[in-house]
Chains A and B, each alone.
Chain A
Amino acid sequence: MQFLDFEKPIADLYDQLEKLKENGAKSGVDVTATVKEYEQKISTTRQELYDHLTSYQKVLLSRHPDRPYTLAYIEKMCTNFVELHGDRNVKDDKAMVGGFAELDGETVMFIGQQKGINTKMRQIRNFGMANPEGYRKALRLMKLAEKFNKPIVTLIDTPGAYPGLEAEERGQGEAIARNIFEMVKLRVPVICVIIGEGASGGALGIGIGDRILMLENSWYTVISPENCSTILWRSWNFKEKAAEELKLTSDHMSRFGLVDGVIKEPLGGAHVNPDEMAVILKQKIKETLAELKKIDADTRIEQRIDKFSNMGFFEER
């Protein structure tokens, strides 16, 4: 298990627990009771720590190296996942994945950014930063789902759309804009879930749907706290402050009405128990799909437009 800096109290308790178990095994003394005590202590310490996470600590959690990514969720929630590739134009963007899968007997189109699980894969996945062809692949798959009347679930986890030279040549801005525009009009139910990082236009490019949900320890806003700090405070050092000011947590986003719901994570975060997290997520997706299917396509689209049209704060004098 990997621990983040702020999880040090928990990491220490785990160390002590390990030592205790070793000593017990060596000396033959029964340590069962003490082990139980330690486990209890870990649990309460974790609870206390996680009850009072700062915004930036949540950002760090959303990037935890052990956190499950898109493909892991699809594999855990579904059977018969068939990954589909390519935008039929430029190439197959490995930072964006998608394909049909069976969710308890129903075919669903899953699409999401994919981060790499080790150093080599992180490179191949471009750290979950898609190029225009990634967004265009996503749109192609959405249109495919629409054609065969299959619901769409997008899993969002990106530090942003890739700011590269070729990305600009191939129209990163246009690709994201087009996706937003087309997703508004999709005639099938669309659920978007921010499972990790929801950074800016790169997230929104697959983020238009009937229901927008966030995992508890994910974040979603216009810029990463680090970049916000660099621009507005002119220094990298104010990222914690920037995270607070941006009010980017699932809690804030839900209170502002910018997302439709927050999905609880297992204590300590999704990475502590990915199987449990997948079960919770699957349940929520199934419930939400059932709810959306009761609404006819025209009404769904109308409600989608209304929802986004109502976002904003201003004064009329």
Chain B
Amino acid sequence: MSSWFKRIKQGIQTSTSEKKEAPDGLWHKCPNCKKTSTVRDLKEHYYVCDKCNYHNRINSAEYFEILFDNNEFEELFSNIYPKDFLGFKDLKPYGARLIDAQKKSGLKDAMRVGAGKVEGNDLVVACMDFAFIGGSMGSVVGEKIARSIDHCIAHKMPLMIISKSGGARMMESAFSLMQMAKTSAKLTQLADAKLPYISLMTDPTTGGVTASFAMLGDLNIAEPKALIGFAGPRVIKETIKKDLPEGFQSAEFLLEHGFLDLIIDRKEMKTRLATLLELFKK
């Protein structure tokens, strides 16, 4: 990869503040069809390749910009930071890993929550950031979802969670596992309050995220071609000792097997979402 491609790729995966300062005329090469386009064009196309419809991975900043009217939203619970409670150390201490990830991504952890309007409809969006340790779910993600649900109930607002995650964060051990229980338990309260919960699964949504809040939407939606599954493809391949069929664990595969309500292109996401939110209200 030449250096300017790399820069753009990083630009997409790092914070918006950095990207806004990036001069126009930088180039992006589609990882799928290799078509090159300017970053500005790519952004105008919602980070979707205009030739092959490949949905590039984007973070919360981009989703908020795409979904919220005039990119106006109130960021909630931004005062919550991760902590290395267990003193976990693999090849690197978790504490140092957190600091590195924060520096590299400009994020505090793998989820940000925004409250705003989508074509005039109130919505709380809790969005995972894959750029932060693979979007792994630890205590901060669980707590932000829990508080988002409280906020939705207090303000009678629907909730959308955008999943993009490799699964539970191993470095938080059983605490990360229990976030599956915590988020699902809180979702029962949202359900009791009869407030819509829309789960949007994006590439990739796997592991403990799939086996908890991602699959529990009143509506389960996905972006095209997103990888969605419980076990990762590599693990399954090793278990069954066979190659996996084409398109296995893709959004289209899940739709076909009955686990999604619909697949929505990112460029239509806002309009379709607004329609759905209005249908719940009328």
Contact = CB atoms under 8 A, between A and B. Distances in A.
Nearest to B231: A163
B257 A309 contact: no
Contacts of A220: 174, 177
A182 B216 CA distance: 11
Interface in A173-215: 173-174, 176-178, 180-181, 184-185, 200-201, 204-205, 207-208
B4 interface: no
Contacts, number: 191
Contacts of A176: 211-212, 230
A314 B83 contact: yes
A125 B150 CA distance: 42
Given A167-B231, A314-B139, A201 B186 contact: no
Given A204-B181, A313-B83, A181 B216 contact: yes
B176 interface: yes
Contacts of A247: 86, 173-174
B239 A172 contact: no
Contacts of B91: 232-234
B239 A163 contact: yes
B251 to A, nearest CB: 13
Nearest to A176: B211
Contacts of B258: 171
Contacts of B186: 305, 309
Nearest to B87: A245
A105 interface: no
A50 B200 CA distance: 49
A35 interface: no
B81 A174 contact: no
Contacts of A245: 86, 88-90, 173
A312 B216 contact: no
Interface in A263-316: 304-305, 308-309, 311-316
B230 A167 contact: yes
B184 A168 contact: no
Interface stretch (B28-36, B140-148, B261-269): B140-148
Chain A interface category by residue count: 35 or more
A107 to B, nearest CB: 26
A145 B213 CA distance: 25
Interface string B102-141: 0000000000000000000000000000000000001110
A214 B185 CA distance: 21
A53 to B, nearest CB: 19
A317 interface: yes
B244 A165 contact: yes
B179 interface: yes
Contacts of B80: 314-316
Contacts of B216: 177-178, 181
Interface residues of B, number: 61
B175 A313 contact: yes
B90 A233 contact: yes
A23 B258 CA distance: 70
A201 B208 contact: yes
A208 B177 CA distance: 12
Given A165-B240, A204-B181, A184 B188 contact: yes
Nearest to A199: B177
Contact of B173 (A169, A233, A248): A248
Given A174-B215, A222-B170, A308 B81 contact: no
A312 B143 contact: yes
B250 to A, nearest CB: 11
A304 B142 contact: no
Nearest to A316: B79
Given A312-B142, A312-B143, A313-B85, A222 B214 contact: no
B174 A253 contact: yes
A258 interface: yes
A13 interface: no
9 contacts: A167-B230, A180-B180, A181-B184, A201-B180, A221-B174, A232-B91, A233-B90, A242-B90, A246-B174
CB-based closest 9 A-B pairs: A163-B231, A312-B139, A173-B210, A313-B85, A173-B230, A232-B90, A222-B177, A172-B230, A176-B211
